[in-house]
Amino acid sequence: MKRVLSILLLSVLILGTFLIAPTPITSTTFAQTTTRVRYHRRHRSFWKKHRDKLTVAGTAVGGAAIGGLAGGKKGAGIGALVGAGSGALYTYKIRKRHRHVRRY
């Protein structure tokens, strides 16, 4: 019963919008000229796209290697965590992001 009632109400609403929809009295069209500006996107290299992630991953691998040499498996895990933490600290807090290089 609910389904039939909802279908009936929706059909009345849809038909009502088509029947009652206002029609324009006069139609005026204007010729518009548009100019399109194309922007050239620079193709960034893989390093430039993923610099932050690669820096953190590299420091984590370096820390794991040093920790592995010093303390075996447990040292490698600790070294990876310390390396990733120090890499993230450098990447997201210390490194200057906005170095402006002039290109002539």
pLDDT in tens, 3-36: 776 776 667 667 666 666 555 556 666 667 777 7
Mean pLDDT on 71-78: 92
Q: Which residue has the higher pLDDT, 104 or 65?
A: 65
Q: Which residue has the higher pLDDT, 87 or 23?
A: 87
Taking a C-beta distance cutoff of 8 angstroms, is the pair 58, 47 a contact?
A: no
Q: Which residues, including other chains, have CB under 8 Å from residue 21's CB and lie 6 or more apart? A: none
d(CA 71, CA 73): 7
Cα torsion 79, 81, 83, 86 to 10°: value is: -140
Q: What is the DSSP string of 16-45?
A: HHHHHPPPPS------------PPPPP---
Report the percentage of the chain scoring pLDDT > 70.
70
pTM of the model: 0.53
